[in-house]
Chains A and B, each alone.
Chain A
Amino acid sequence: MIDANLVAFLTNATAAGDRVHTGSPPQNSPKPYLVLQRTDGTAPRVLSGRALFPRARFTVIAVSRDKAAALQLANEVNARLTAKARYEMAGRSSATSVKDCRRASGPTDVTVIDGDAEFHGYAQEFAFMYLDS
C-alpha cells in the first residue's frame, strides 16, 4: 500500500529521521518532523473495467525549528521523491512500484506563529502514478 510504503521510504531518509507522521503529528512532537496527508486518489479504468495505474496525491509538510531548516527539509523530501522517474518503495509486507512522481505544487510556507507557539513549515504536494504489489 503506497501510504505505508511512502512513510517507510521517507523514514530515516531526511533530517527528520524516523519522525514521519501521517494525518497529524502527536502533540509536542520533537522537531524536525514530516507530516504526510493523502489529498486525492483515483483508479482510472479502460472500457473492459480493467484498472490502470492508480494515482494518488500526498501533501508532505516539512516542519522544523526555523524557516530555513524547514525549507531545507522540504527540499530533501523533494529530492528523495523525484530524483528518479521510476523507483521502488519497499514496505514491511508489500512493495510499491512508482511509475511517476512529480511535485504538483509547493513548497508553500505554512508557518504559524501564535504567542509562544511557533510552527515553521513548508508544504508540498506530490502526484504519484504507481502500482502496489
Chain B
Amino acid sequence: MYYGANVDAILYMGAATGDNLPAPNADVFTEVPLTGRIKPPRKELRTGFFNVLNDRNRRSVGGTSADKTVEGNVVIDWSEPTHVAMCEDADQQRKRNWRIVYPNAEERQLDFVGFVSVWDEQAFEAGEEAVEHRADFVITVDGAVTET
C-alpha cells in the first residue's frame, strides 16, 4: 500500500560505536526524536558508455555503487541524548548502526552503518517568521544498505 511522506518515518540510532559493530538485530536502537526531514540514501551506479566497432548505438555498463548519504534535519533539543551524540559524532567520526523505518513500518525499513559527517546548526536569525532552531545533518553510509 502506498503511504504519506510527511509523518511516521522514524530515524533510529544504534547504541554501539566503533569499527566492529554488532549486527543490527543485536544492537539497541533509540529513536532520534524531533526529526523534521529524512532523505533515504540514493541508489546510483557508476556507468560507462562505449561503442562496439562500427555499431552506431551507444552501449553502456553499470559499475560500482556511488557514494551514499542520508540527509535530514532535527529540531534541536540539547536534553535529547541522541542529538548530543550526533553533534559529538560529527567531530569524532564515530560509526554506528542506523535504521530508517518507513511510514508503512510493517513493510519496509533500511539498516546501514554510517557516521555523522555533517552537523550544521541553522543561524539564529531575526526573520519574518518565528521558527524552532534546527540542525541539518548528513550521515555518510559505510557499506551496504540492507532493505527489509
B135 proximal to A (CB < 8 A): no
Chain B, residues 1-26, CB within 8 Å of chain A (1/0): the string is 00000111110000000000000000
Q: Contact at B36–A46, with CB atoms within 8 Å?
A: yes
- Residues on the A chain within 8 Å of B6, using CB: 47
Q: Contact at A46–B35, with CB atoms within 8 Å?
A: yes
Segment from A28-36, A48-56, A67-75 that makes contact with B: A48-56
The distance in angstroms between the C-alpha atoms of A130 and B140, with both chains bound, is 36
**B4 vs chain A, min Cβ distance (A):** 10
**A18 vs chain B, min Cβ distance (A):** 29
With contacts A47-B6, A47-B10 known, is A99 near B34, CB below 8 A?
A: no
Q: Contact at A48–B10, with CB atoms within 8 Å?
A: yes
The distance in angstroms between the C-alpha atoms of A102 and B36, with both chains bound, is 25
Give the interface SS of chain B, mostly helix, strand, loop or mixed. Answer: loop
B31 proximal to A (CB < 8 A): yes
List B residues 18-71 near A (Cβ within 8 Å).
Answer: 31, 33-38
**A98 vs chain B, min Cβ distance (A):** 10
Q: Contact at B129–A47, with CB atoms within 8 Å?
A: no
The distance in angstroms between the C-alpha atoms of A45 and B10, with both chains bound, is 13
- Residues on the B chain within 8 Å of A47, using CB: 6-10, 35-38
Contact with B130, one of A45, A49, A50, A129 (Cβ below 8 angstroms): A129
B75 proximal to A (CB < 8 A): yes
- Residues on the A chain within 8 Å of B106, using CB: none
A4 proximal to B (CB < 8 A): no
Closest B residue to A49 by beta carbon equals: B7
Q: Contact at A45–B7, with CB atoms within 8 Å?
A: yes
Highest count of chain B CB atoms <10 Å: which of A48, A99, A128: A48
A127 proximal to B (CB < 8 A): yes
Q: Contact at B31–A48, with CB atoms within 8 Å?
A: yes
Closest B residue to A129 by beta carbon equals: B130
The distance in angstroms between the C-alpha atoms of A99 and B31, with both chains bound, is 26
B132 proximal to A (CB < 8 A): yes
Q: Contact at A52–B132, with CB atoms within 8 Å?
A: yes
The 10 closest A-B pairs by CB, nearest first: A100-B130, A129-B130, A47-B9, A47-B35, A46-B36, A46-B34, A49-B7, A52-B132, A46-B35, A48-B10
